[in-house]
Structure 1
């Protein structure tokens, strides 16, 4: 492709945006107003792009919504499982590494999680996707406890306790003071594992989050 053609193609892409740009805008609308807010017209206006340019990237609104579900799966679940699967010398070190994901919105997007769970209340397909991801996350957490020597039934119960506690925080949109919640981290680790984290593990966690 010669330089003139390359410049023309780049200009063309500019006024059409990109699939990633449209998806990012849709993600913001989903969080702000729920799935009913994710519509092509308002999205185009938000991005300053023409409505017709949307169709260069997505067949229709349903394709965009499917991409939003895929994005959530590939970010929140993947981030969570990656933290769970990290090698750790102790179960408390492993659980504190998991807490990293829930503390850092850049790793685990709680606002998106809430939006997905709200969407699932009115869309059976999203409800099914949510149930599938919940099961995968709980299975990964159960594996964490199994790796650290817990019996199978206890591992499953502890995994559910950890996971459902965090889902509760998200579902209730808890306004708990961040500092207060962070102060409870060692106690949460103790409750979830039955073992108190060491001072060094707590210090490392706090240092990771500049506490």
Structure 2
């Protein structure tokens, strides 16, 4: 259907469409931009169409937070349990999560962390996610023989650096980032990756 006539014909869009519009507004302009009327204009739909899919704005915001966890926390935790032959390769799996397009949604992470500064409930969700992510990293390192206390500190080093990249919106080209990866792995996991492991890793980002 031609969206130019969407409002006139009564077409309501879809729940996914409203969510995507909310997501785009959030990452582009922050939480204050996620409001029903501006989203309706973005979609060229009537404001009342929104209520076919969400009870109110809070329901949309809750759905956006659920989507944030699926696009950030879930892939990071999953990366800690991926198959690896060495500790260094396990660490490369985690770094792939942060670097590979379409895995860990860094723009959404930044937007939600900014949102949390003005919403205590969102801040609580962030705190719970931080804890879950750190626990997953700690468990991964412990599995590879690192003592619990040391695993905890190394996990925090990994996590705080990676979130720091996002929070600071660090401008670092991919070649510079890749050149630093072996040293990061050594610091994070106390083991340098083998050349073959780095070759496989780099091949994911150099096309």
> TM class by shorter-chain length?
over 0.9
Between 103-112 and 119-128, report the one with greater CA deviation. Answer: 103-112
| Aligned residue among 122, 134, 137 for 1:126 | 122
**1:30 maps to 2:26:** yes
Aligned residue number for residue 93 of structure 2: 97
| Aligned residue among 17, 24, 31 for 1:21 | 17
What is the CA–CA distance in structure 1 between the aligned matches of 2:190 and 2:110, rounded to whole Å? 29
Q: Let me know the Cα RMSD of the aligned residues.
A: 1.1
TM-superposed CA distance for 1:87, in Å, is 2.1
Aligned residue number for residue 106 of structure 2: 110
| Aligned residue among 39, 57, 64 for 1:61 | 57
TM-superposed CA distance for 1:178, in Å, is 2.1
| Aligned residue among 144, 148, 151 for 2:147 | 151
TM-superposed CA distance for 1:75, in Å, is 1.9
TM-superposed CA distance for 1:177, in Å, is 2.1
TM-superposed CA distance for 1:18, in Å, is 1.0
Between 87-96 and 124-133, report the one with greater CA deviation. Answer: 87-96
Normalising by the residue count of structure 1, what TM-score does the alignment of the two structures yield? 0.91
Aligned residue number for residue 50 of structure 1: 46
TM-superposed CA distance for 1:118, in Å, is 0.3
Structure 2: any 5+ residue segments left out of the alignment? 1-9
How many residue pairs match? The answer is 198
Structure 1 residue ranges, 4+ long, deviating more than 2 angstroms after superposition? none
TM-superposed CA distance for 1:104, in Å, is 1.7
Aligned residue number for residue 198 of structure 1: 194
**1:142 maps to 2:138:** yes
Structure 1: any 5+ residue segments left out of the alignment? 1-13
State the Cα deviation string for residues 136-156 of structure 1 (Å, max 9, x = none). 000000011011000000011
Aligned residue number for residue 5 of structure 2: none
